Amino acid sequence: MGFTEIWWGIGFPIFLAAIGLATYLATSDSSASEFWIARIAYTLGTFDVLGFLTFWLWFVLRWVPLFRLVLGVAASVVLLLGLSSTFEWVNLEEVRLSETLASKNVETPVVPASCSQIPPGAVMIFMGSNLALATKMPATVVKMGDSDLLVVDIYRGHRLRIDTLRLLDDNNEEIARIDGDEFWTAPSVRHEKPDASTLVIYDQNNAEVLRISYLNVQAIVIRGKFRAEDHPPLFIGEDKAELGDRTFEDACLGELGGGEVFHAE
């Protein structure tokens, strides 16, 4: 079997499979580990081409050695620069997809009895057993003073996008931030998407500080810990929300408006 048969029979299929898998994972709602698989697959595809190119240059091509060396070095530089650019693109895709959630199409939670009327087209945002309504997007979900801590939007065929996020730790040090297309977390903080509809962020103690689930096109569930300087902290759990020394349960919080749906006395 000659070089041409080996390339088309083995090398090229490996290249296509690696690049195809990597591109699929990098453009889907993948987890952090799947994005790493995409990077590995792109690397495999690149070195597959590089390996066969090296073999062709030194065992098939009958050029002057210096020419083969120059061609090999030039081709290697181009391939490795392309791989580096691909990694940058994968990083951007990971950030972009981390900020957006797909609708899960599951049942809406029980609406508090105090919310007697839901306006047509309103998005229901459940915070513990409490309910806030968003009739316009983008919607400021959590705001303390002049600081927007959580702003969401719906776009591109019912995808939920986190436009703004700011999370602080117990010492009021910033540990996570989303600002437009920028998604930053402190080195000791991690985030994951257990599925295409959920984003979870853990603090430096591996405690969950944010969970956003896009249940369906009309329902979002939010749990988290929100802090701002000179303001009491807001803790949103599974069945209640606590702002300072006040507790909210089964409350109809009304229209989000400016985002200040919880008020401390």
Tokens of 230: 């000179």
Tokens of 128: 């513990």
DSSP 136: S
Tokens of 79: 């391939």
What pLDDT, on a 0 to 100 scale, did the predictor assign at position 265? 41
What pLDDT, on a 0 to 100 scale, did the predictor assign at position 167? 95
List CB contacts of 104: < 8 A, sequence separation 6 or more.
195, 196, 197, 198, 213, 214, 215, 216
Domain boundaries, the chain: 3-98, 123-255
**pLDDT per position as a tens digit, 140-194:** 899 888 888 999 998 766 788 899 999 999 888 999 999 887 888 899 998 888 8
**pLDDT per position as a tens digit, 228-260:** 888 899 999 999 999 888 898 998 888 876 545
What pLDDT, on a 0 to 100 scale, did the predictor assign at position 130? 92
Nearest Cα neighbor of 108 from 88, 128, 81, 126 is: 126
Query: How many C-beta atoms surround the C-beta of residue 115 within 10 A?
Result: 17
Tokens of 160: 């939920």
Q: Measure Cα distances from 198 to 10, 161, 183, 186 in Å.
A: 39, 11, 16, 20
**Distance between CA atoms of residues 42 and 53, nearest Å:** 17
pLDDT at 103 over 80: yes
